[in-house]
Amino acid sequence: MTYEFELPDVGEGVAEGEIVSWLVEVGDAVTEDQPVAEVETDKAVVDVPSPVDGSVAEIRADAGEMVPVGDVIIVFAEDGEETATDEEPSDAPDSTGEPASDTDDERVFAPPSARRLARELDVSIEAVEGTGPSGRITTADVRAHAETDESGSEPTQAIESVETDSVPATSASREITLAAPATRKLAAEEGVELNAVPTDKTQEGEAFVTPAQVQQYAQSQQAAQAADVAAIGAPSGREERIPYRGVRRTIGQQMEASKFTAPHVTHHDEVDVTQLVERRSTLAEVADEQGVSLTYMPFVMKAIVEGLKEFPALNATLDEDAEEIILKHYYNIGIAVATDAGLMVPVVDGVDRKGLLQLSSEMNELIEKARERSIAREEMQGGTFTITNFGAIGGEHATPIINHPESAILGLGEIKEKPRVVDGEVVVRSVMGLSLSIDHRTIDGATAAQFANTVKRYLETPELLLL
């Protein structure tokens, strides 16, 4: 029997996912729990495992396609059952309704997207000449074959051609435009409005657009655009459209919700970390012997915890429905990490209960997982306060956006040598910028400044962290 596998709920609140890549092809044998696809959610890329032992009978979603949770993405033939392969019985009719040719016994190399397009365009996949690697058939090959068929004999379809002396149906002379799903997909890829495509075909009195007409119209529009660009002497290809979805869209929605919910106020300050630089350099050698890379971040995390203990308003959330401020008596610190997909915030739990080496080890592991997009959703939840280190790319101060529903976020600037007056003399000191954004609904500016002073005291004299 076959098993239709639906896109599972790979994380709390996830409604859809993007198929990043397929790890199997039709006909491949699979075992239970073997990864068959990579799916990007709004937080990370996750592997989707096979639920059964068997083989791949059909793949129903293309790489790059957004699929709602619950939609069937792949069909398996369980062990003991025959698997649908690329070959078809020699006496079976192909997609054009004609008897299958002798070449059907040969394997046809074509991805699911090309096969699906062939079915939609009423094209025999076996008749298409592949131009991809090792003769692999691409969607462009299928479209080209369909155009060749159109220029010759018309396929048998429920389409009536208008008289040759009639005017092509344009957007001004039709109310509804009909098109196959593949044609609509092609139009979306080419950035073409279907209603604008001229056509001389009708179906049941309504305009019907073919893939060839979409491509022809797209090419004419591109040529016209190129001519306009050339006329003004400007370079072509000045714009590019990138899908706004997945992690990037989630980040944007979170930032928008935070900025328009919590009135932000940012307190800027600087801290002399000369002693910290020296202590960290000494301790880093000890950490290296234990296989741990010790950065400044664990020191900052411990200093923040001491500040939060003195000023718990910054370690809180606002329950707007209940009209209550929830003070947290635990300290889970999020570390904002820049990845190829955008900003992600892994969370280190129980910072107050852990030493510098343990914090370093856990933090480094979480950051690596975030950059590899293998981090679990729960590893980015439950934070009570967030740190963002824009100094890693050279900045001194910024205006960080709070990781809502938290109440505050601390930005770290680059450590730079600056002149400072010490005991009446101008000396060179290592200085780091601090940028503290707070939710002004629950935190006063004075409280923010006092919190920053506490953090500064521990960073200026790191021996205090040992008490």
Catalytic residue among 264, 268, 397, 440: 440
> Is 264 considered catalytic here?
no
**Cis before 405? omega within 30:** yes
Rg of the chain over Cα atoms, rounded to whole angstroms, equals 30
One-letter amino acid for residue 129 of the chain: E
* Residues 345 and 250: beta-carbon distance below 8 Å: no
Catalytic residues, by residue number, are: 440
